[in-house]
Structure 1
Amino acid sequence: MRVFLTGANGWIGSVVARELMAAGHSVVGLVRSEEKGAALLAAGGTVVVGGLGDLDVLRRGAADADGIIHTAFGLDISRIGELAAEDSAAIETFGEVFAGSTRPIVVTDGFLHLTGEKALETDRPEVMPAFPRASQQTAFALADRGIHANVVRNPRSVHGQGETHGFVPMLAGIAREKGFSAYVGDGANLWPAVHRLDAARVYRLALERGARGEAYHAVAEEGVPYREIAEAIGRQLGLPTRSLTPEEAEAHFGPLATWVANNGPASNAWTKKVLGWSPEQLGIVADIERPDYSC
């Protein structure tokens, strides 16, 4: 397949590109500059320069593609309303180009709608007003119109060596600043996690499956007790680990306090069954504790 891949130089998109090419697909990657596309070019991919707001660029990239994988999303959460609108418009544009065909679109989202119950692939959450990203809702709306759009949901920790902007490095930064790694209460609340190389295989398999209106969970570990993650960060940094009360956690973690304390397991059973996917990489605790893991 000729695959149009947004976010082709990103934390997830870059390994999706490698996974696709290793399986014999060709990749046309959307990046924001020629410099950011250098690694994809060196690996044998094709680079298209542009952003999600460049709808004409997206149309041209989609028109020549046999499938689309959409991993791009802005990092400046202070602009979440603007970023969400841009993202939805991009997905709608892909749907317009692919309408009337069976060409697949795979869209990225996560697990923001945390209730404490295990999230299932059959869940269809509504958009949260406080965080109005609507990637999956837009994709499911396309599927309702007969377009072969699907969703890959990533857990809060997509880990791996060299991670710089995810939860693990943010939590490690707080631990360095405060002098200890912390958890809330007994730390038994569950975090789902996946190594980014395992996640990349879910994207490829979802694209190749080509169904519509399905959600796949790129979740290797359905729920790791957060205390184990905090202790692994502490060991990697040579710092003690400490329990905090909910009130102390607010001051310690700032905006991350809710996520640190939240219980949010996510299922992977259906994804494993229908895609024939089985995680192969290290779990998050073992990964953080690797000597060459950069926290």
Structure 2
Amino acid sequence: MRVFVTGASGWIGSAVVPELIGAGHEVIGLARSDASAAALTAAGAQVRRGTIDDLDELRRGAEAADGVIHLAFKHDVAFSGDFAGAAGADRLAVDTFGEALAGSDRPFVLASGMLGLTPGRVATERDSAGEIPETGLRTRQGTARAAIAFASRGVRSSALRLPPTVHGQGDKGFMAVLIGVARGRGVSGYVGDGSQRWPAAHRIDAANLFRLALEQAPAGSVLHGVADEGVPLLDVAEVIGRHLDLPVVSVRPEDAGEHFGWLGAYLSADSPASSALTRELLGWRPTQIGLIDDLDKGHYFQA
């Protein structure tokens, strides 16, 4: 299969590309820089230059492919305070892919999120944001619903919800930021009693699931890339404290924003999730180590 991949040189994409090539697929990766293009070429992929704002380029890439995996998201824009702008750009890109693939029965796999989906209880693939206003994190859920609806237009679409931490060596996401906060504050903090649960998955397992979704997922599928159903954030803080030789302390919920910055709101969310339906549907079996064991390996704490 000839597969067009956005975000192909990113954290997850750089694992998805070799997963696809190893399974015999041909990969064309979207690259916005010379460095990204060089990385894709070195990985054995072809290169299409552009960004997710280049809607004509996205359309041409989709029309020339047998399937599309959309991983790109403006995380730098989102984390700088303009989540709405990043989510809006993503929605335009997704709508463009839907138009390009309509009536083709070709697969479209969207990377989505699950943090805050069903606060306080284990989320499943059957849960959605429902009637909750599409603001903040819910905006991405709205985009995921739109992608799933492409099934009615002749697209074999699926939304693959990823946990807040897709971990592994080289991760610069939430775990790396949390470790940076601990270093800066001189304590390893958690919010309240630390019972908030986060799902997690290793990026190699996530990459494998993206391939399975491309190859097998029925039209209109919602998938969960979850290996650890819910890791208590107190456990995360304790590992960080042990590796950095810092005291582990509770931060009052009302002080989370001041202590953790933009990360505070996310750390306050109890958001466990299951992938039982995904495993049954696609035969996905995570094989990599869990989040706590990965943190304990020490690579997150190397300078």
State the TM bucket, normalised to the shorter chain. Answer: over 0.9
Q: Matched residues in 2 for 1:27 and 1:91: separation?
A: 19
| Cα distance change of structure 1 residues 294 and 36 upon mapping to structure 2, 3 Å threshold | farther
SS in 1 for 2:89: helix
Q: Matched residues in 2 for 1:283 and 1:267: separation?
A: 15
* Partner residue, 2:249: 242
SS in 1 for 2:122: coil
Aligned 8 A contact 2:244 2:301 in 1: no
Aligned 8 A contact 1:235 1:289 in 2: no
Match of 1:152 among 143, 149, 160: 160
* TM-score, scaled relative to structure 2: 0.92
Offset of 1:23 from its aligned partner? 1.0
Offset of 1:210 from its aligned partner? 4.0
Q: Matched residues in 2 for 1:96 and 1:252: separation?
A: 44
SS in 2 for 1:28: strand
Question: Residue by residue, what CA displacement relative to the aligned partner does 1:174-210 show, whole Å, maximum 9, x if unpaired?
Answer: 1011101011232122110011111101100011004
| Cα distance change of structure 1 residues 233 and 212 upon mapping to structure 2, 3 Å threshold | same
RMSD (Å), alpha carbons: 1.6
Offset of 1:55 from its aligned partner? 1.3
* Partner residue, 2:174: 167
Aligned letter for 1:202?
L
1:142 aligns with 2:142: no
1:211 aligns with 2:212: no
Offset of 1:83 from its aligned partner? 2.2
Q: Matched residues in 2 for 1:103 and 1:210: separation?
A: 11
| Cα distance change of structure 1 residues 87 and 250 upon mapping to structure 2, 3 Å threshold | closer
Match of 1:179 among 153, 165, 186: 186
Q: Count residues in correspondence.
A: 294
1:16-95 equivalences under 5 Å are 16-75=16-75, 76-77=77-78, 78-95=81-98
| Cα distance change of structure 1 residues 138 and 294 upon mapping to structure 2, 3 Å threshold | farther
Match of 1:129 among 126, 129, 135: 135
What are structure 1's unaligned runs of at least 5 residues?
Answer: none
| Cα distance change of structure 1 residues 48 and 294 upon mapping to structure 2, 3 Å threshold | farther
Aligned 8 A contact 2:118 2:127 in 1: no
Aligned 8 A contact 1:161 1:294 in 2: no
Segment drifting more, 226-235 vs 240-249:
240-249
Aligned letter for 1:79?
D
Q: Matched residues in 2 for 1:41 and 1:160: separation?
A: 23
* Partner residue, 2:276: 269
Aligned letter for 2:216?
R
Residue identity (%): 48
* Partner residue, 1:8: 8
Match of 2:260 among 253, 270, 290: 253
Aligned letter for 1:31?
A
Question: Residue by residue, what CA displacement relative to the aligned partner does 1:120-165 show, whole Å, maximum 9, x if unpaired?
Answer: 101232462234333302202212333211110000111111112x
Offset of 1:256 from its aligned partner? 1.9
* Partner residue, 1:290: 297
Aligned 8 A contact 1:102 1:147 in 2: yes
Offset of 1:262 from its aligned partner? 1.7
Aligned letter for 1:197?
I
SS in 2 for 1:293: helix
* TM-score, scaled relative to structure 1: 0.94
